[in-house]
Structure 1
Amino acid sequence: MLTKSLNITRGIVFAFIRNCHNKSSCTDSATIKHELELTRNRKKPPGGSRFLKDKNNIYLFNAWDNVQWDEEQEKAAKEKVEQNSEVTLSEDRLKDLDINADKHWDAFYDIHQNRFFKDRHWLFTEFPELAPDYTAAPERVYPNENDNTTSQIEKPTDQNIGAKRLIFEIGCGVGNTIFPILQYSTDPNLFIYGCDFSSKAIEIMQQNELYDTKRCNVFVLDATCDTWNVPFEENTLDIIVLIFVLSAIDPSKMQTVIKNIHKYLKPGGLVVFRDYGLYDLAQLRFKKGRCISDNFYARGDNTKVYFFTQEEVSKLFKDAGFLEEQNLIDRRLQVNRGKMLTMYRVWIQGKYRKPL
């Protein structure tokens, strides 16, 4: 029986032979051995610096950063979305998705418990503000727009040492963001709040051995309500985390959420945002009959998901009075090196500051 590593190695060999079939020098054993050596014991580059400059090398890593799409790929994605965007859901079906949204998420967590989502250890590369005292995370590297060079983003320094730091995550699920922050940050003045629409998710999180009431407090909240019932005052939070959660909310209710976020952040407070972008793999995989409205879909488990453009994200926050510090489109190419599959992901990432 082949092991997983041997399967991956075999896949890489076949890939190099396939990609180089018109180049006889690429198929000799010495070349294949050299290419395989490049994949062994390779040191992971800094965050966001694995750039695919030669498609023949696609299987050297299992992910590539800041992948550029050509017009043909963009056109194919647009056509796919046009095909799956016909709204065929009945009024009763749409009503059920809305009224029973909390029950659908409870069912999701009842099935998956804490096994579905992985802890987000990448948080401190993308959002070092969450744990400025954690200095071991890889630093994020972004490509410069007008040339082929890259620039490294400096990590923030905590200017108010000894001051209370309050972080609030909306849509905390079972703790895949909160627990890594608590693990990597040793700041004794840090306290994290979290909320989720699903009471089942909160129950699972509170039963986790990492849940420490001295450092965090999680509770059930429907963030789309006009008025929030929360254990903190307005204008008190340093950071609000909004990661892959706004996409689960009906677009007509998103502005209400953003306005309340603005209300509870302190002046100078920060929102860190990351969510699905238009033409992400998840959107292209939808079949006909799952579309609720433009770029808004119902998954098979009855949870919902929206796919954003950069312009939409920018407008949502600016209309609520935020200053935009970051708004970027993160295109990743994920590679299954064993099955030789390529998967294109598209995420929107932003940082928004409440004015002083």
Structure 2
Amino acid sequence: MEPNDNNNDDKRPKFGNRQLTDDDNVFKHNAWDNVEWDENQQEAAQKKVTENSCVTLTNEQLENLEIDADKNWDKFYGIHQNRFFKDRNWLFTEFPELAPHIHENDKNESVKLNQQQLESSNDNEKLTENNKKTAENNVNNDIEYLEEKMKHLTDDLSTKSHKIFEIGCGVGNTIFPILQYNTNPNLFIYGCDFSSTAIDILKQDSNYDKSRCQVFVLDATKDDWSTPFDEQTLDVIILIFVFSSIPPEKQQHVVQQMYKYLKPGGIVLLRDYGRYDLAQLRFKKGRCLADNYYARGDGTLVYFFTQDEIKNLFLQCGFEEIQNIVDRRLQVNRGKQLKMYRVWIQAKYRKPLL
């Protein structure tokens, strides 16, 4: 049973701001934010990954998995369609850049995770001074960036076009909320996916508005992109749990392509799987393709990132870092009294202004 909203002590905390301060309350809510790991938990995760990281597939099997990647994603969407996904209620909390208006409270929400990570690092003497400085810089960069966006927001909404492009849009679970809540009359959203089945499902949805969005099939790992927009014309590029499905050796190319199509000052918003996430720890032996890169049972592929890997991929292509944080979340099954630790990377990178 959910807590009584009329009781101030039990009132459900705002999403993204639910801190577990008393272990006795762990099963009071379905999820807790920014849960720190102790040494034993970190060591156990490393041991589990070492155990499941032995590559047993033949070269032919590895090659076939990448060759059949589009077919496997088509099968995935053909089976699940839009029944598999939940609404992304966190989308505008974590990425206020996608919301119709940016207010002061939105700015505070956007830097929330960086600030909490900084506070945690101050309480943890084992973290290096470099980590603390990184957290401080992320907070300052996020504030400066959003203040700049707030200053120019009125002009942007009234006179300038605003183009958003989602790579790996699936069946529209990010595109449709943006269309619903972003009232900017000059907004236009593009979306692409590896799976033609996903694109077909998205286009058949009643929320698909051709006057405000366009979706198409694209393999982002290809050398050249065929897109309905020109280079240096995009304001925002979104990747939500998509970058991890790109083979590690092709990730740098995708970042280079994003840089090419963004306007100066344009940004990339990324959220994806972090190293030692529950999904990685659950893999059995025989599913590993390379270090931290796995094939799921349905043939779809997934990589698990560190902050430094994301940072290096983007900085080497000329991007400026706005945000790069680890979001450690504890999800619980209150019925079965189970704890599930999730680790996600959230990052924002900007193409420098000319």
**Smaller-chain TM-score range?**
0.7 to 0.9
Match of 1:296 among 293, 297, 301: 293
Map 1:234-273 to 2 at 5 A: 234-273=231-270
Question: Deviation of residue 46 (structure 1)?
Answer: 3.2
Report what 1:306 is aligned to: 303
**Which has more radius of gyration?**
1
Work out the CA distance in 2 between the residues paired with 1:185 and 1:355: 25
The runs of 5 or more residues in structure 2 that have no matched partner are 124-135
Percent of matched pairs sharing the same residue = 61
> 2:351 is matched with which residue?
354
Say if 1:310 and 1:348, in contact at 8 Å, map to a contact too: yes
Deviations 1:313-344 (A, max 9, x none): 00000011100010000000001111111100
- Verify: 1:105 aligned to 2:73, yes or no: yes
The structure whose residues are more often helix, as a share, is 2
Give the 4+ runs in structure 1 shifted more than 4 A: 36-41, 134-138, 150-156
The correspondence of residues 314-353 of structure 1 with structure 2, limited to 5 A, is 314-353=311-350
Structure 2 contact 5–11 (Cα < 8 Å) conserved: no
Q: Secondary structure at the match of 1:161?
A: helix
CA–CA separation in structure 2 for the residues paired with 1:344 and 1:326: 22
* Equivalent residue number for residue 87 of structure 2: 119
The answer to whether the 8 A contact 2:265-2:350 is kept is yes
Residue-pair matches, total:
322
Matches within 5 A, 1:50-65: 50-65=18-33
Q: Is the 8 A contact 2:72 2:298 kept in 1?
A: yes
Amino acid at match of 2:266: G
Q: Which amino acid aligns with 2:95?
A: F
Give SS of 1:44's match: coil
C-alpha separation in 2, matches of 1:53 and 1:340: 18
The 1:262/1:173 distance shift into structure 2, 3 A limit, reads same
Cα 1:38–1:176 shift into 2, 3 Å = closer
Corresponding position: 1:189 with 2:169? no
Partners of 2:4 and 2:352 lie apart in 1 by 52
Deviations 1:224-283 (A, max 9, x none): 011100000110100000111110010000111000000000000000011000000000
TM-score, normalisation: structure 2: 0.86
The amino acid that maps onto 1:249 is: I
Q: Secondary structure at the match of 2:109?
A: coil
Q: Which residue identity is paired with 2:25?
A: N
Question: 2:230 maps to what in 1?
Answer: 233
Q: How does 1:117-266 map to 2 (within 5 A)?
A: 117-133=85-101, 139-140=109-110, 141-142=112-113, 143=116, 144-145=118-119, 146-147=121-122, 157=150, 158-159=153-154, 160-162=156-158, 163-266=160-263
User: Distance in 1 between the 2:183 and 2:174 partners?
Assistant: 16
- What do you get for the CA RMSD once the two structures are aligned? 2.3
**Partners of 1:346 and 1:263 in 2: CA distance:** 30
Q: TM-score, normalised by structure 1?
A: 0.85
Stretches of structure 1 that go unaligned for 5 or more consecutive residues are 9-35
2:185 is paired with a residue of what secondary structure?
Answer: coil
- Residue 40 of structure 2 corresponds to which residue in structure 1? 72
- Residues 275-312 of structure 1: CA distance to partner in whole angstroms, max 9, x if unpaired? 00000000000000000000000000000000000000
User: Do the aligned residues in 2 keep the contact of 1:169 with 1:242 (CA within 8 Å)?
Assistant: yes
1:175, 1:67 → 2: CA distance?
Answer: 30
Question: Residue 352 of structure 2 aligns to a residue in which SS?
Answer: coil
For 1:255, the aligned partner's letter is Q
Where 2:27 maps in the other structure, the secondary structure is helix
1:69-112 superposed Cα distances (whole Å, 9 cap, x missing partner):
00000000000000000000112211110111100100111111
Judge conservation of contact 1:193–1:218 (CA < 8 Å) in 2. yes
